[in-house]
Structure 1
Amino acid sequence: MKWIIKIIFLLPFMVFSQSNFERAEKLFSQQKYSLAKPIFENILKENPNHPKTLEYLGDIEGANKSWDNAMMYYGKLKQLYPKQADFYYKYGGCLGMKAKEANKFAALGMIGEVKASFEKAIALNPKHIEARWALIEIYLQLPGIVGGSERKANSYANELMKISLVDGYLAKGHIAEYFDRYQEAEKNYKKAIEVGGSKNTYQKLANLYRNKLNQPEKAKQLLELYQEKIKS
């Protein structure tokens, strides 16, 4: 009998918390982060380990470029849910952005943990696409003397080919473009369009034409072709 009474007393609070969470979630989806944040924070006071609330607060801090605050939330999520790949990926992403904004000496001290976070995400979820993209970017951006490597970037692009063909071609195109091999990049972006046909695939090729090959008219025609495609 006592447990029934306890549930009756708790029910209004549970309904109130749920309605607040849904309101905050809606505000978050509308990118009204300053309004959503205090609601999520109040929910967290009542339920400090609520995973979605922690994640939303981490996402908000990340959107506001408050990397340390975001990492605090994702770090807690890693401790609570050590087998969830996305928490390692998000933590690594924030640490990577912090490193990017730091001085070169400080940044070098962070790179190892950034890479380890993405690698852990892949170990937990072998089909994690975003973590592979992040590692590709790291190996492209880093100077060779501190670990940059086209070969390693290509190895992750090859892995993407097995998981998502369109991402694989986009990654191959991105790597080729980074090293000014524009014909190779164009070839891979065209293959990505054939396989995926998304706006992103068309945009990547259009950007190559406009920004690297000085062919703005060709870029315009390509995007017009995409608009015609989605209308049909």
Structure 2
Amino acid sequence: MRFLILFVFLLPMQNFASDFNRAETLFKQEKYALAKPIFEKIVKEDAQNYKAIEYLGDIAGHAKNWNEALKYYEKLKKADPKNANYQYKFGGALGMKAKESNKFAALRMLDEIEDAFITATKLDAKHVESRWALVEFYLQIPAILGGSEKKAQKYALELMQISAVDGYLSQGYIHEYFSRYQKAEISYKKAFEIGNSKVTFQKLYSLYTHKLKQPQKAAALKRAFDK
């Protein structure tokens, strides 16, 4: 009888774990429409399942439903304000919403976006994504609203301390943004030499192809990478 009671008690927990694993697998397979109702069911039964809530936010983000994504990320941010990734995801979703909003609505969001990203960097000294977001943020917004290359470079240098590849990629990105293509080439080449990855290849290859108009260098790079 004791064993039977224990079995009955554990069965819902086993089913719960099974549902989560199935939904997580579907998410990783990019079958978001199938994963979503399972995660929603899990959250309905356990409102503090933060991982399921995060997945729901990510699914909304993939669908570019920024209001829905923000609803989930804000819930996470309030539940665990010291989680750098929650801060970053909230700032990212808000940034995407701002891009799709009119200028006046977007202006009202800038401070909150910046604050979320900066908070993430302070919470996690090695949080790469939030520093990349700030590089992009300070390049994209006008100087009158706080944008500047100097601020972008600050976070590019922080990236260099965390990961040399990300550091050189971010510096290359800044140079490319300001049409300093020769300097961008130097940074991208260093990133490629260190990382030798698809991302580092694509950045340098794209620069040769679209900006420097040097097809021979692009072809030589591709041959080297294919080997």
Query: What pairs up with 1:105-124 in 2 under 5 angstroms?
Result: 105-124=104-123
What is the TM-score normalised by the length of structure 1? 0.94
Q: Which residue number in structure 2 is paired with residue 51 of structure 1?
A: 50
Matched, 1:163 2:195: no
Give the drift of 1:11: 1.3
1:81-113 deviations in Å (ceiling 9; x for gaps)? 222110000000000000011111111110110
Equivalences, count: 227
Question: Aligned equivalents of 1:89 and 1:5: distance in 2?
Answer: 46
Matched, 1:64 2:53: no
Q: What is the letter of the counterpart of residue 132 of structure 1?
A: R
Question: Aligned equivalents of 1:39 and 1:182: distance in 2?
Answer: 48
Give the drift of 1:221: 2.5
Matched, 1:202 2:201: yes
Q: Percent identity?
A: 56
Give the drift of 1:7: 4.4
Q: Which residue number in structure 2 is paired with residue 215 of structure 1?
A: 214
Q: What is the letter of the counterpart of residue 47 of structure 1?
A: D
Question: Aligned equivalents of 1:22 and 1:136: distance in 2?
Answer: 35
Q: Which residue number in structure 2 is paired with residue 9 of structure 1?
A: 8
Query: What pairs up with 1:100-179 in 2 under 5 angstroms?
Result: 100-179=99-178
Give the drift of 1:6: 6.1
Query: What pairs up with 1:21-100 in 2 under 5 angstroms?
Result: 21-100=20-99
Give the drift of 1:37: 0.3
User: Which 4+ residue blocks in structure 1 deviate beyond 3 angstroms?
Assistant: 4-8
Question: Aligned equivalents of 2:73 and 2:4: distance in 1?
Answer: 37
What is the TM-score normalised by the length of structure 2? 0.96
Structure 1 vs Structure 2 CA RMSD: 1.5
